[in-house]
Structures are given as C-alpha cells and as structure tokens.
Amino acid sequence: MKMFFDIHTHSPSSSNQVCAIQNRYPTSDHFSSPFSIGLHPWFLKKETFENEILLMEQKLQHPNCFAIGECGLDKAIETDFDFQKEIFVQQIHFSEKYQKPVIIHCVRAFQEIIEIRKSQKPSQPWIVHGFQKDKQLAFDLIKNGFYLSFGEAILKSTRVQEAISVISMDTFFLETDNAEVSIHEIYQKISDIKQVTLQELQEQLQTNFTHIFRS
Ligand SMILES: [Zn+2]
C-alpha cells in the first residue's frame, strides 16, 4: 500500500494511508504524531515571542518533530517587518542547529526570503508552502534552492497548474493546509497535470519526502 504525504496540515491524519505533518505552535501540547513547530508571523507579539522561542526550542527536540514552521514573512499584515525578519532568522538558526527543514509562509516577500537564504547559506532545505504564484516565481525559487508545496490552489488556479506543469518532479511536495480537501484529491489532480500515474506520483513524492525529512 502506497502512502500519501501531506507535509502541512492543521488537522490530524484521518487515514493510516496518509503520513501528515501537523502544524503546531510552541504553546500546543499534543505531540503524539509527526509535527512541525514554529512562530507564524500572524501571531507574533513583542510581549510573548521570547517565551514562545524558549518553548519552541524544547519541543523541536521531540522525536516527532519533522520540521520548523510554519514561519516566514508576510507583508499583508501590520506587524513590523524587521521584527518578522528577526524572528524568522532565529528560527532559521534552530533549523541549522537541530538539522530540520523549514516550512515557509510567505506573502508578498519572496525577494526578501530569497535574499535571506542567499545570505544565511543554510544547509537545510526550505519549502515554500501553499505556493499559488506563477511559473516564473516557481523557477526563481527553485533556482535559489527552495522546494515548493502545493495545496488547494492547484484544483482551481490555471496559473498554479501551469507552474506545476513545468517544474521538475523532485522539487515539490503536496499539502492540505486548512482546506476542506483530501490529499488524495490533490495527488489525483497533480497526476493528471504531470501525466503520470497516481502510483508513479506516490513513489516520487515518497522519494522527495525521505530525501528531505528525517524518516
Ligand atoms: Zn497552514
């Protein structure tokens, strides 16, 4: 039986055929299945971040921690951008110290994220989750060493469908995030777009997963 990999979700895995990485916050206390942990830019507060960083560093040493994140930069919110960058870079340091890949939330700050990767020269993979931009940005990110993760947008957006149709099979992951879709549906759509069988896609994504995430 081939597995489905859902690398970013806010719900528990509903099937033993799905390996899901559930997004957790430092203040969560459920760590019985694979998770990622991070400080999301939406919830950053100057009053609470120091404590959250401390909690995060403890919890990311849990054996079920598969990744740092989601964390990143967001220009659509009012939170001070330099503060966002500072907290993002702290989490990048955790990623390097504990050898965990990073799941990135990025809104209107792609050039800044690319610049930070160039200046930090990390050894760990960075994955831009919920990618819904065009093929040019997809190529730019991949050229700069990023991986992409696609979710619900792939079902509707022709721009995202075009992006995935032109990138190579070893550069991406799939996710449900907080959408009301199953990971099976997203796999099915990608197999249609990439003109591979569902089984071939499953094999490829399993390879991508074991290559990037600690097994
Ligand atoms: Zn999410």
pLDDT tens-digit series, residues 61-119: 999 999 999 999 999 999 999 999 999 999 999 999 999 999 999 999 999 999 999 99
**112 CA to centre of ligand 1 in angstroms:** 20
Residue with tokens 């989750």, as numbered in its chain: 129
Count CA atoms closer than 13 A to 65's CA, side-chain side. Answer: 25
Residue span of the structural domain in which 92 resides: 4-212
pLDDT digits (tens, 9 = 90+) for 177-200: 999 999 999 999 999 999 999 999
Residue 7 CA, ligand 1 centroid: distance in Å: 10
CA 42 to ligand 1 centroid distance, Å: 11
Instruction: Report the predicted TM-score, pTM, of the whole model to 2 decimal places.
Output: 0.96
Task: Give the Å distance between the CA of 23 and the centre of ligand 1.
Answer: 7
In the predicted model, is pLDDT for residue 215 greater than 50? no
Euclidean distance between CA atoms 213 and 66, whole angstroms:
6
The pLDDT of residue 1 is 76
Assign residue 158 the CATH number of its domain: 3.20.20.140
> Which residues sit with Cβ closer than 5 angstroms to ligand 1, an ion?
177
* CA–centroid distance, residue 174 to ligand 1 (Å): 12
The rounded Å distance from CA 139 to ligand 1 centre is 23
Which region holds residue 34: left if phi is over 0, alpha if psi is between -120 and 50, else beta? beta
**Alpha helices in 36-127, H assignment, sequence order:** 49-59, 81-98, 110-120
CB 21 within 8 A of CB 9: yes
Please state the rounded mean pLDDT for residues 2-15. Answer: 91
CA–centroid distance, 129 to ligand 1, in Å, is 8
Number of domains, the chain: 1
Per-residue pLDDT tens for 145-157?
999 999 999 999 9
